[in-house]
Each structure stands twice: as structure tokens, then as C-alpha cells.
Amino acid sequence: MKVILTGGTGLIGRALAEDLARDEHEVIILSRSSLAAKDFRRGINSARWDGCSAEGWAPLADGADAIVNLAGENLSAGRWTPQRKQAILDSRVNAGSAVVDAVLQARKKPRVLIQSSAVGYYGPTGEELLGEDAASGRDFLAGACRDWEASTQPVETMGVRRAVVRTGVVLSARSGALPRMLLPFKFFAGGPLGSGRQWMSWIHLEDEVRALRFLIETPGARGAFNLSAVPLTNRQFAQIVGRIMRRPAFFTVPALLVRLAFGEMGTVVLDGQRVSAKRLEDLGFKFRFPGAEAALRDLLGRRARPEAEKRA
């Protein structure tokens, strides 16, 4: 296959690119920075783009098997000032528009477009278990996800199959959210954030990559898909981390302190979504790490204990 990735230098994009290249697929990463070929595994090439147009790279889309659109400003890179929120939104919508333009110009259209999104699409939802047919939320993050998803919808009118992935917190020991979440535990100060009752939908990086590959390679995969293993509360997550790291997990961080420190961005950790991946599983996908304890033990280099996994 020939696969084009936008946002291919991020946590998910790089892992997906390496996985595809190991299977000898041709991978082209679009990036606004100058990338040296030596930085990537054999079979991974890079091309420059400006993040908002098809200029210079549109010919690559002609005859491509898949485009995976992961591009967007990092949500947790700073407080959500009005300028920052506009950059978050613009980066996603502009990248989607660029992908649509490239597909429009292609004489031979890509077979499939995978459009990235997040479980934040649903907004703060409490205890409700959410399928893909649940309504979108009304907060900033939900609105950004809606616009992100809509940015590439026009390719469907061109005969291109499109799957939208609403991903939970991606767990990786290398980068992303997990190393920051583990930091308080390293200093014996770990515990739940706020009430600890908020739900956390999450996925092991390996399963994220496997799910993306599955959706690329499954002809019947269309529409929205939640990418999340079995959700758990923030308090349950803290207890599992404490058990694995052999650290206390009872130092609660007050919600007020989180909001003072992070502003509106605090909603990412203080409000949660409890989502179901039933639609993905109904197509035949099986999680390698459905439970949090096994996933964390794998990432932290510990052996999973089945009896503990059942309790989680």
C-alpha cells in the first residue's frame, strides 16, 4: 500500500508509520518542518507541506491507497487563551481542507481516508456509556472535534471511503500523556485528580496503531468509530498506577487547583467520557490490551497479573 500521513511526526503518526514500513508498505509523511530521511525507518519518506493547502504535495495523493489525517496543534501545549483556541481549531480545519483539495485533484482517488478526532467530541457526559450515535457536546473541545471531523467530509462525495476515529487518551511510555501522569507517583505524591469519579477512556498505543491499520484494511469500515479499551475512573487509574509502581495513590489534587493551573484546558483531566468501542469490535477488531492493568504493566515493563486485571 501507499499511505500518506499528515501529523506523521507525532506520537500516533510515527508509530503508525513505523508499523506500516515494517510490513513493507510505502509511507509518506507530510510535515511543515524539514525532515531528514535518515530519521525514519526504510520505506518512510517525507514531503513538505504548509498545513493548509495541497500545494507541492497534491500529486502524491494520486493513486494513494490511504490518507490518514492526524494533523492538529497539541491540545496540551499551553493554556487555552483565545489565540491558542483559534490555533487549535484552525490547524485542524485547514489541514482537512488541504486533504480535500488534494483528493479533488487526484485523477485516481485514494481508496480510504482516515480522519482523526477525539472522545472529547461528546463533551463532559458523566456516567453514560456512549456509542458513536451519542450527541456531540457543547464545550470548546467538542466543537473543535465536530469541525475537525467535518473538514474532510467532502471526500465522501468523491467516492472515497471515510472513517472517523474518536480516540481516547493514548498510553505510551515514550511520550504523550502517560509520562506526565506518572510524574507525581515518582515523587510519592500520586492520586486522583478532582473528585476522581470522572471517566477516562484510554487506549494502548499498540492497539491504536492496530485499530488504524484495521480500519484502513477493512472495506466495510465507514463512519465514526470510538477507539477506546474498557474505560475506568480517574481514581481507579490512580490506584492501578500506585499498585504497579508501588507508590501511594491517595494524594488528591483539588479540582480548583487544576483549574487555576490550567484554566479551561483543565476540562481534559477533570471532565471525562465513558465511551464504547462496540462498533469497532462488531467489525471484528480485538484489543490486545482491553484492561488498564495489563496495558500499564506492559508499558512500564512489569508482568500483568490476571487476578488484578479482573478487579480493574
**39-67, pLDDT tens digit by residue?**
677 779 999 999 999 999 999 999 999 99
> Residue 47 in contact with residue 37, Cβ under 8 Å?
no
According to CATH, the topology of domain 2-168+204-227+273-287 is Rossmann fold (3.40.50)
* pLDDT at residue 84 tops 60: yes
- pTM (2 d.p.): 0.92
SS3 assignment, position 233: strand
Which pLDDT score is estimated for 39? 67
Which pLDDT score is estimated for 35? 60
Helix then strand then coil, in percent of the chain rounded to 5, is: 45, 20, 40
The answer for residues whose C-beta is within 8 angstroms of residue 237's C-beta and 6 or more apart is 181, 200, 202, 292
* pLDDT at residue 73 tops 80: yes
For residue 195, give the C-alpha cell.
473528585
* pLDDT at residue 191 tops 60: yes
* pLDDT at residue 37 tops 70: no
What length is written for the chain?
A: 312
Report the candidate in 240, 74, 46 with the shortest Cα–Cα distance to residue 170.
Answer: 74
d(C-alpha 157, C-alpha 101), whole Å: 13
d(C-alpha 295, C-alpha 166), whole Å: 20
* pLDDT at residue 256 tops 60: yes
Residue boundaries of the structural domains of the chain: 2-168+204-227+273-287
Tell me which residue has cell 475512573. Answer: 233
Report the candidate in 213, 232, 248 with the shortest Cα–Cα distance to residue 295.
Answer: 232
> Residue 273 in contact with residue 122, Cβ under 8 Å?
yes
* pLDDT at residue 160 tops 50: yes
Any idea what DSSP says for residue 253? B
* pLDDT at residue 299 tops 90: yes
d(C-alpha 277, C-alpha 177), whole Å: 21
What's the pLDDT tens digit per position in 99-142? 999 999 999 999 999 999 999 999 998 899 999 999 999 999 99
